A and B are shown apart, each in its own frame.
Chain A
């Protein structure tokens, strides 16, 4: 149930994010969701895309440094308190969240939360036991 995420190193200067997105746009890549972590010197663009391998090779061809790793996708009701419930489950299981980002899907009235815990397997296990809806990669791509 792990979801692949691709991260891209970006220098924190004008036009770098646009350049990365231009490369992906030209290759007709549809980004399901993304987030950017930024510091004063560099940024990390994290993305969920249907074909990670293809995106990795396209970006590397254009000299970007990329990293692919596992994250967890959880479906939560798109209503107040939805995300809090998920974090409550992890908190109770004493699992730290490194970062998360979310996007709402109007078609199914559901929000999808992308989570990174230090130990992905432990995170998935705790979420399932706590009654959260862990989504498969296919479910995320099909939305």
Chain B
């Protein structure tokens, strides 16, 4: 099912025309109403009149997370604060949070793109959506909530945490769609198994998982353990929240709602635009936001764009699953390593629970990578040589994936931190 045929299946030329018109409008609005953009555009020697084609977007300066943070709290708003009806913020784990302000029209837009997402995941008015994203300043909870209401589904606003209650409600209410982070879905699967609740006792058909990076192997594992179709959702608070892009049943990339969010790929080092099909950092421009237009926002997420018509009928450009972040990319002895690569290696080993933590240190002027993995009954034996063999096997799998020698340590089950939001996977002790 497609929520909005006209928008989602628009012909390429019509789309480009619409995008250009909206781009010109948003650039003008930003320039005239936000002092930050006026200054930035003036410094770059570019004015709204210079945008005559979509390609001209490349003349505009980028907006970084730091820029948004410096405008804390309301400096990026393009409307009077009285016209803002809701605010959200990022978690602020790396400093002051960034604030996103929404007018009523922005909330309508958010509901629209989330309605498209949930419909793409197979949701409709007959569904019961158990929404375990956190409600509050975090955009996850309310974003899903608005979309669920828009499609007329029953939303269960249970929010994050309290796993036993999640499981009870899931069974008693017969939840059909689960929305949470993929690591929480894995954790739920683990607890369900411990409680002896098999997938046959649940009514789940789909999961809309996002807010952190995950892998195809993790998808297989979640689908197998929860017996549902696990789909990827993408979004950022700075842009709107969840609902920037969503995977369809083809599970081959996420459709970006590009009539509202204009995507580009750049090389994070040269900052040059990368042609379609090339890998690089995703840059997004909000085409229709009123409260807080964001021009050329550097997401730091590494992906690839693939335009064209999908078998599902949509013409929204597709982006690949995020494979890394240009800022959580680790450089170990000069080699680029993404935590997702380590996860992929771990998931190839039968019987291993992909609960892990990466510890980077530099004890003697040389980077060392330690991967802590939880021991499981399948990996354990009464013989030291067997356990050491298991450890070496994991080390070899990781070596195959990243090309570096690492030290694997087995730790006791349940000893690594479980997160009900974003999992903390990397501890960098190098103080670089």
Residue-wise interface mask of B (54-98) relative to A, using a CB-CB cutoff of 8 A (1 in contact, 0 not): 000000000000000000000000000000000000000000000
In the assembled complex, the CB of B98 is this many whole angstroms from the nearest CB of chain A, namely 39
Are A67 and B412 in contact, CB atoms less than 8 angstroms apart?
A: no
From B384, B387, B411, B413, A64 is in contact (CB under 8 Å) with: B413
Shortest C-beta distance, A54 to chain B (Å), equals: 17
Min Cβ gap A34→B in Å is 12
Q: Once the chains bind, are B382 and A44 in contact (CB under 8 Å)?
A: yes
Find residues 1-30 in chain A having any chain B CB closer than 8 Å to their own CB.
Answer: 5, 7, 9-11, 16
B 339-388 contacts with A by CB, 8 A? 375-377, 379-384, 387-388
Per-residue contact bits, chain A 48-65, to B (CB 8 Å; 1 contact, 0 not): 000000000000000111
A44 touches B414 (CB 8 A): no
Q: Is B159 an interface residue (CB 8 A)?
A: no
Q: In the complex the two chains form, is A9's CB within 8 Å of B412's CB? A: yes
A42 touches B382 (CB 8 A): no
Q: Is A41 an interface residue (CB 8 A)?
A: yes
Known: A9-B375, A39-B388, A42-B387. A63 touches B382 (CB 8 A): no
CB-CB contacts of B392-432 with A at 8 A, as 1s and 0s?
A: 00000000000000000111111100000000000000000
Chain A: CB-nearest residue to B385: A98
A65 adjacent to B380 (CB under 8 Å):
yes
Considering residues A10, A46, A63, A116, which has the most beta carbons from chain B within 10 angstroms of its beta carbon?
A63
Contact size range, A: 20 to 34
State the main secondary structure of chain B at its contact with A: loop
**Chain A residue with the shortest CB-CB distance to B411:** A11
A69 to B380, CA, bound (A): 12
Complex-state Cα separation, A63 to B415, whole angstroms: 9
Which A residues lie within 8 Å of B413 (CB)? Answer: 63-65
Cβ B376 vs Cβ A67 within 8 A: no
Interface membership of A37, Cβ < 8 A: yes
8 A Cβ contacts from B143-198 to A = none
Question: Which of B383, B387, B410, B411 is A98 in contact with, Cβ under 8 Å?
Answer: B383
User: Please, how many angstroms separate the alpha-carbon atoms of A11 and B380 in the complex?
Assistant: 12
B381 near A7 with CB under 8 A, answer yes
B353 to chain A, nearest CB (A): 11
8 contacting pairs across A/B (C-beta < 8 A): A9-B387, A9-B412, A10-B412, A39-B384, A42-B387, A44-B382, A46-B382, A65-B380
Which 4 pairs across A and B sit closest by C-beta, in order of nearness? A7-B382, A63-B414, A65-B375, A65-B380
14 more A-B contacts (CB under 8 A) besides A7-B382, A116-B383?
A: A16-B412, A39-B388, A41-B409, A42-B387, A42-B409, A46-B382, A63-B412, A65-B379, A65-B412, A66-B377, A66-B380, A67-B377, A69-B381, A99-B383
